[in-house]
Amino acid sequence: MAEEKKRSADPAVLQLLEKCDSCEGLPSTMWDRHDAMQPQCRFGELGICCTLCFQGPCRINPTGKEPQRGICGAADYTIVSRNLLRRIAAGTAAHSDHGRHIAHTLHALIEGKTDAYSIKSEEKLKSVAKKVGISTEGKDTMQLAKEVVDLALEDFSRQDENVPLTWLRTIVTPERMEILTRCDVVPYNIDAMVTETMHRTHIGVDADPVPLIFNGVKCAMADLAGEAISTDLSDILFGVPKMTVTEANLGVLKEDQINLAMHGHNPVLSEVIADMTEEMEEEAKAAGATGINIVGVCCTGNELLSRRGIPLATNFASQEAVIMTGAVDAMIVDYQCVMPSLGMWAQCFHTKLISTSNLCRQQGDVHIEFNPTTAKQDAKRIIRLAIEAYKNRKPADIEIPQYKETIVVGFSVEQIEEILKKQSDDPYQYIVDTLKDGKIKGFAVMAGCNNIKVCHDESHIILADEFLKNDIMILATGCAAGALVRSGFTSSKATQEKAGEGLKEFLTTLGKGIGHDDPLPPVWHMGSCVDNSRIQSFMTTLANKMGVDIKDLPIVASAPEDMSEKATVIGTWLIATGWPVHVGIFPFIHGSPLVVQIAEHTARDVYGGFFLFETDPHEASRRLINIIKHRRWKLGIDADPEHIYPNGLTAADLFEEAGPPKADTANGGK
Amino acid sequence: MISQKELFGMAISGGISAVGYADVLLNKAIRTHGPDKEVGYPDTGYELPCFYGWTTTEVKKLGDLPALLGQVREKICHEPTYENALKAGEATMWSAEIVEAIRYIDNDNPYEDDAPPGTQEHCGFVGDPILRTLGIAFVDDTIPGAIVFIGKAKDSKALAKIVRDLQNKGMLLMATFDIIRQLEDEGINQGTDIMLFPLGEFTQAIHGLSFAIRAALAFGGIQRGDREGIYNYLSKRPKVVIIQLGPIDQIKAAAEFAVLFNGSPTITDQDVEEIPGKYVVQKDYEQIVSTAIELRDMQIKLSEIDIPVAYGPAFEGETVRRPDTYVEAGGPSKNKVFEHVKMRSADEVEDGKITFIGKDVDEMEDGSSTNLGILVEIYGKKMQEDYESVLERRIHQFINFAEGAWHTGQRNLIWIRLSKKGVENGLRFKHFGDILHAKLHEDFGALLNRIQVTIMTDQAEIEKHFPEAMKSYGVRDERVAGLLDEKVDTFYTCTLCQSFAPNHVCIISPERLGLCGAINWLDAKASKEITPTGPNQPIVKGEVIEVEKGQWTGVNDAVKEHTHGKLDVFNLYTMMEEPMTSCGCFECIVGLEPMTNGVVIVNREHSGMTPLGMKFSTLAGTVGGGGQTPGFIGVGRYYLVSKKFISADGGFHRIVWMPKQLKEEMKDRLNARAEEVGTPDFVDKIADETITTDPAELAEYLTKVDHPALKLPPMM
């Protein structure tokens, strides 16, 4: 990269990167390593490199010249599809394993094997039981919890192929279930789906692109169920998120306190650590600190933020920056999206890198294996290590960028319903009416990761600005939500400054309904990346109320910085349930025109959802807003003066006489 | 710009995707329902039509399909050539048919709730009855072709203009994807009754192709799986053009090659390297219609009529329901009404003079009713009084062609409605004058030199003309009563259908009208005057061979000539031995019911089961296409009450079953005929579907009511 490009939209991150630039002897940052990696492998980027057997690596010539087949005869679409499926399987494995671990924890509680947990939301337990068809009558809490968790674990263990996953069946519209069933993409067992996907993509098994991709969709549906299990059981154990005012960005670190940064995804550990801080307060003080300050990173951060209002320090791409502050005494990680570079960085500071899951070990870590049965003890050992580390702080190294935003978070479906109920006894009809009268034009989900290929967080901000201006309400999860909370999108001020008139009116009315003088924020933080299930559940209820399917609703999803395999699988189930999904980073499939056509067009024909591949966030937002307009037109709500095509391009974009043609950037790569 | 090579590549990708999709869905369906689960669409005699047309293998069960899908899967090649794209097209056709057939398992109307509530419904599969109803209009070029719209237009107003233009030219139209919503936006009605089928999205487009394939099977006499025959037939007719608007994707490209595989081209507004005559670019919406017409060399029969609403055969089937009616004349409102075509001398008629007397619609209240008189005075050197009734009967169709106008009945029993929307768009009674003047000149120009029309709603004026009209009706009735097969020496051929059914000929006698119901002996006679070399040629009966069965040397010669030697004997009055053939657009089927020794009548509007164990659509498949099928004939409904109705087989009394609705509609005529043959209570003895559709129960019922057929000698 010859030209200097902006590394992050976050001034806090930039401040720390600049500090490190001027220091000798520090490890490389993610940005340095990205630059050093250029040019990245074009075959890999196009997804046409196959390393599934040792006769390879094989790669297809993307220019149309030979070789057009791998040694075994696999064509571009076979290689691309198989590689894609393996990413989907990995994403599913990650989310679902997370769900399973929550279930195991709940199970341990029910069996009396742990004193670290309790049922924090009986109400959620009952509503989940009702949703999955378990009668609550005459059952005590633990018995009901046992039945719920047993049913959840059955989704990991069922052997009858004809019985659909409970947590899938209960999160889609009846019409969707019919489509999914007809397309043979309804799984019966989450683990079996991962296995089947790995089997199907083994050398010499499935080579036909559509059956392969449909298998990927089936696996993704298992992922949706796994995510829904994670969310439901987490809420039962740790409470349903409620609206909370708190803060975000690196300025939440406190110089005079023991700073614990909780990073990863699973709340099972972080919740207990948060519970144990009070008990450890004295020890902290004895060490010279004024207290213990927990901050979140990535999705563990989002979980803590949603349920406890624990401040969020930063998201995925800037995890190294957390250590760079020199003020973090322990970086405690569970799993997923933990960068192996953290060990290198921790070595240069006093920070302890503590890994807690035997799945996720790091070079340079201290491993304190965390078990539900010994949770309190484990938590204390971990906190104690941080207190010890505090004593080794080097004041010269400390630089906490003074950036933080006051934020409003905690928008679970239950919280949203409660807010809406102040307006109407029929909260979803209220949303339908608000959509129909055009006060809000639609919903945009902003989800997904950070991806170093683009300026950190910038695309999220650009897209969010455009959505809000156009009266589109934003629901955010994961690192996208992490970006938006840190950029001032989750406050009343954001509504006043950024929202269109209709949206502002809507949010002001909702605010008044719950006794606030100020409007609600225009971006609703709905949780971590597994909590995309919350959004799915909200939209399914809305679609049912409207008498349509998700494929008809004026909604879009965007992951402008998609990065992980989990993002791939979320994108896949979103599409299969009828969402238009924008991704800003090409997902290694453009080596097969057939697979790209399926993703962009044929998926829409079959499922109603489709991918929009667009690297430019301005263009992406324009097309996504157009897609919402297109769907409003199809619903019979609005006229179609611009003649918008289903992919968000207008007649003016496509026809010369009406204006200069715009290339469909999704075709043909970057 | 999409190069030819890229287009072929897209079609091949689309084909691979389509077969994969069909494969997944089919295997799932077989796992769910078992291989013996029956598949098929409602109201068709052609199983899954795309298979019926292109393979000899019968498709009745899910289990029949995997091997057939394999047949197209194994043909797919990657090399982006035209031939390979066509193979992918064929594969896509079968794949789409499989996907759609799966939708119709245990569900006759799967697309009922496909579109969001409050928006235009999708129709999906269009059954054979609609095809057969349109048959006559297809074959006489009233419908010059069929246009299938795919995608989305860059400008919905311009799209609406194209559609209006095509409707005024009489085209059959089908819409898919966003175009359905665009037409809805522009206030264009869609439905299977008005020749604009909102098929739906994605694989539902296959139902357009299926419609064309069935035309070949129903009218062309093409045998199942005659691949060369079907391709040759479809290359000539019906003249189908695909209009692809907006971005082309792999599935759309593959579908367009499926249509090309069936001999019809695509026009697109996209930047594509053309395949001359096959995949044509026309970005100028003003030119799309003429491009389509030139591409298929379509013959446009309809000329434009200057009235404020659309005009064409599309609206013939349009019904104006009571709540949509602005004003009504005749019918239950009991106003005084008449329509009368009267021949006058030259100096009594001023051509083009259109007079309106009384108040027109704009002076009437919404929801009101009115008197109405329509007097058409004509003069022509070759005009004969006999033709007055021929011309007068056409008023029905001419008025119905106008969007928003509805006409039924005849003479002083007409019943007319103008819709609210039509009136809002400017339609007035006075426009009937413009319509009749233009259309009578257009269709009967050779007979008529001068036409003047008087439309009246004024009571006094109507009273003034009414007696003359009544007198004409009386004179005509007397003349027709004397018009018997025995009393004429000339019959007529009707080969109007031969563009569609090349080996079929109707023999039209005074007592047996054409099986489509549209042409009787007087019509044929007039038609011969108008077009001396046209489809209706006189046949001198010649020597009698069989009096009873109705066989003459002259008729046999004509049959031999017009069936191109395929048939040489033809009996007019029997259905059991060398009966008349059928093209495919018959109004009713008469079928022998062996258990009861009688015949079952079923009209094409009836979609239910009959005692023959087959529905209309299945029966039609065995009767049509220009072949003789002893025991089954296609007939016009008025032939049922003719003295010559299967007179050699026992005649009218053979009728043991007919659908209730047909019985109701023909009640007066049936009763009159029953009276004539001395059994006034006979009509009540005819069973219908409310009594039974089971042959054994039918026999029981007939015994109970002492049906005269039971006493007739065996038919076989």
% of chain A exceeding 70 in pLDDT: 97
Distance CA B73, CA B90 (A): 10
Report CB contact under 8 Å: B24, A211: yes
Q: Is the pLDDT confidence value at B689 over 50?
A: yes
Are B274 and B175 within one domain? yes
Tell me whether A646 touches chain B (CB under 8 Å): yes
- State phi, psi for A450 to the nearest 5 degrees: -110, 150
Interface test with B, best of A206, A594, A665 (most B CBs within 10 A): A594
Q: Does any domain span residue B116?
A: no
Residue in chain B closest to A592 (alpha carbons) equals: B13
Are A501 and A413 within one domain? yes
Q: Which of B13, B119, B201 sits opposite A593 (nearest CB)?
A: B13
Are A507 and A547 within one domain? yes
> Per the structure block, which two tokens stand in for B665?
């509609």
Tell me whether B201 touches chain A (CB under 8 Å): yes
Interface test with A, best of B6, B16, B24 (most A CBs within 10 A): B24
Are B567 and B455 within one domain? no
Are A336 and A412 within one domain? no
Are B454 and B495 within one domain? no
Q: Which pLDDT does position A1 carry in this prediction?
A: 38
Q: What total number of domains does chain B contain?
A: 4
Alpha-carbon separation of residue A317 from A271, A314, A448, B711 (angstroms): 23, 8, 12, 95
CA distance B246 to chain A (A): 8
Are A53 and A112 within one domain? no
Q: Which pLDDT does position A667 carry in this prediction?
A: 40
Interface test with B, best of A597, A631, A653 (most B CBs within 10 A): A597
**Per-residue pLDDT band at A4 (split at 50, 70, 90):** low
Q: Does any domain span residue B308?
A: no
Q: Does any domain span residue B427?
A: yes
Q: Which helix (H) or strand (E) holds B451?
A: strand B450-456
Q: How does DSSP classify residue A411?
A: -
Rounded mean pLDDT of B44-56?
94
Q: Where a domain ends, among A211, A238, A265? A: A238
Q: Is the pLDDT confidence value at B299 over 90?
A: no
**Per-residue pLDDT band at A665 (split at 50, 70, 90):** very low
Q: Does any domain span residue B477?
A: no
Q: Does any domain span residue B478?
A: no
**Per-residue pLDDT band at B37 (split at 50, 70, 90):** very high
pLDDT in tens, A116-173: 999 999 999 999 999 999 999 999 999 999 999 999 999 999 999 999 999 999 999 9
Residue type, A105: T
Question: What are the E-state strand segments in B649-692?
Answer: 655-657
> Per the structure block, which two tokens stand in for A10?
């976050």
Q: Does any domain span residue A136?
A: yes
Are B450 and B521 within one domain? no
Q: Where a domain ends, among A238, A266, A284? A: A238
Q: What CATH number does residue B456 fall under?
A: 3.30.1650.10
Tell me whether B27 touches chain A (CB under 8 Å): yes
**Per-residue pLDDT band at A657 (split at 50, 70, 90):** low
Distance between the two ends of chain B, CA-based, in angstroms?
Answer: 67
Q: Does any domain span residue A507?
A: yes
pLDDT in tens, A177-209: 999 999 999 999 999 999 999 999 999 999 999
Report CB contact under 8 Å: B178, A634: yes
Parallel, antiparallel or unpaired: strands B506-508 and B490-494: antiparallel
Q: Which of B152, B178, B249 sits opposite A597 (nearest CB)?
A: B249
ipTM of the complex: 0.94
Q: Does any domain span residue A668?
A: no
pLDDT in tens, A229-247: 999 999 999 999 999 999 9
Report CB contact under 8 Å: B13, A182: no
Q: Which pLDDT does position B623 carry in this prediction?
A: 81
Q: Does any domain span residue B305?
A: no
Are B345 and B249 within one domain? no
Q: Is the pLDDT confidence value at A510 over 70?
A: yes
Are A54 and A81 within one domain? no
CA distance B255 to chain A (A): 13
Are B424 and B363 within one domain? yes
Are A421 and A387 within one domain? no
Distance CA A600, CA B423 (A): 45
Q: Where a domain ends, among A170, A205, A238? A: A238
**Per-residue pLDDT band at B136 (split at 50, 70, 90):** confident
Are B67 and B141 within one domain? no
> With contacts defined as CB-CB under 8 Å, which chain A residues touch B153?
643
Tell me whether A428 touches chain B (CB under 8 Å): no
Residue with tokens 């928006």: B119
> With contacts defined as CB-CB under 8 Å, which chain B residues touch A640?
156, 181-182, 185
pLDDT in tens, B489-506: 999 998 877 777 778 889
Q: What CATH number does residue B278 fall under?
A: 3.40.50.2030
Least confident of A292-301, B104-113, B127-136: B127-136
Tell me whether A37 touches chain B (CB under 8 Å): no
Are B145 and B271 within one domain? yes
Are A320 and A427 within one domain? no
Report the mean per-residue pLDDT for chain A: 95
Distance CA B539, CA A169 (A): 72
pLDDT in tens, A511-565: 999 999 999 999 999 999 999 999 999 999 999 999 999 999 999 999 999 999 9
Q: What total number of domains does chain A contain?
A: 4
Residue in chain A closest to B14 (alpha carbons) equals: A594
Q: Is the pLDDT confidence value at A2 over 80?
A: no
Q: How many Cβ pairs within 8 Å bridge chains A and B?
A: 111
Q: What CATH number does residue B69 fall under?
A: 1.10.8.190
* Radius of gyration of chain A, Cα coordinates, nearest whole angstrom: 24
Q: Does any domain span residue A189?
A: yes
Are A164 and A60 within one domain? no
Q: Which of B24, B28, B249 sits opposite A601 (nearest CB)?
A: B249
Are B546 and B411 within one domain? no
Report CB contact under 8 Å: B23, A208: yes
Are A435 and A579 within one domain? yes
> With contacts defined as CB-CB under 8 Å, which chain A residues touch B103?
182
% of chain B exceeding 90 in pLDDT: 73
Q: Is the pLDDT confidence value at A666 over 60?
A: no
pLDDT in tens, B110-123: 998 889 999 999 99
Q: Does any domain span residue B490?
A: yes
Q: Does any domain span residue A618?
A: yes
Q: Which of B21, B154, B181 sits opposite A210 (nearest CB)?
A: B21
Q: What CATH number does residue A515 fall under?
A: 3.40.50.2030
Contacts with A, B 221-280, CB within 8 Å:
246-247, 249-251, 269
% of chain B exceeding 70 in pLDDT: 100
Are A327 and A435 within one domain? no
Are B463 and B563 within one domain? no
Q: Does any domain span residue A245?
A: no
> With contacts defined as CB-CB under 8 Å, which chain A residues touch B246?
645, 654
Report CB contact under 8 Å: A640, B156: yes
- Give the residue numbers spanning the domain of B152: 128-296
Least confident of A265-279, A347-361, A562-576, B213-227: B213-227
Q: Is the pLDDT confidence value at B333 over 60?
A: yes
Q: Which pLDDT does position A659 carry in this prediction?
A: 45
> Per the structure block, which two tokens stand in for B133?
């109803």
Are B98 and B149 within one domain? no
Report CB contact under 8 Å: B17, A633: no
Alpha-carbon separation of residue A239 from A122, A307, A594 (angstroms): 9, 7, 45
Are B135 and B250 within one domain? yes
Q: What CATH number does residue B703 fall under?
A: 3.40.1470.10
Q: Does any domain span residue A466?
A: yes
Q: Does any domain span residue A459?
A: yes
Q: Where a domain ends, among B103, B118, B138? A: B103
Tell me whether A639 touches chain B (CB under 8 Å): yes
Tell me whether A662 touches chain B (CB under 8 Å): no
- Give the residue numbers spanning the domain of A338: 250-397
Q: Which pLDDT does position B335 carry in this prediction?
A: 86
Q: Which pLDDT does position A664 carry in this prediction?
A: 45
Tell me whether A139 touches chain B (CB under 8 Å): no
Q: Does any domain span residue B18?
A: yes
Q: Which of A181, A597, A635 sits opposite B250 (nearest CB)?
A: A597
Report CB contact under 8 Å: A184, B20: no
Q: Which pLDDT does position A656 carry in this prediction?
A: 67
CA distance A634 to chain B (A): 7
Instruction: List helix spans (H) across B152-297.
Output: 156-168, 178-185, 206-219, 227-236, 250-261, 285-296
pLDDT in tens, A434-453: 999 999 999 999 999 999 99
Are A46 and A97 within one domain? no
Are A521 and A629 within one domain? yes
Q: What CATH number does residue A206 fall under?
A: 1.20.1270.30
Q: Which pLDDT does position A3 carry in this prediction?
A: 53
Residue in chain A closest to B176 (alpha carbons) equals: A605
